[in-house]
Amino acid sequence: AETLTLAVHDRGHFCGEISMLTGGPAIASGVALGPARVVRIENAEFRKFASSDEPLAKIVLTAMAARSRDIEA
């Protein structure tokens, strides 16, 4: 399988929001380039956070739209 770098995330960045919001399968996988600290959030908990915190929801939806555009390009 071909490997393609879609993004490189820095401290405090996140991924996986597209499948968390759509309920579909992940559209990409990730690999840490060095030591990493990862937090896993279950779909239901993520949706609860996103629906109760407007600033968080705006950040997530903006990132999701940008990433969707990047993948389609």
Tens-digit pLDDT profile for residues 11-50: 888 888 878 878 888 878 888 889 988 888 888 888 888 8
Distance, in Å, from the CA atom of 50 to the CA atom of 24, rounded to the nearest integer, reads 17
Phi-psi region of 12 (alpha: psi -120 to 50; beta: other; left: phi over 0): left
For the entire predicted model, the pTM comes to 0.62
52 falls in which pLDDT band (50, 70, 90)? very high
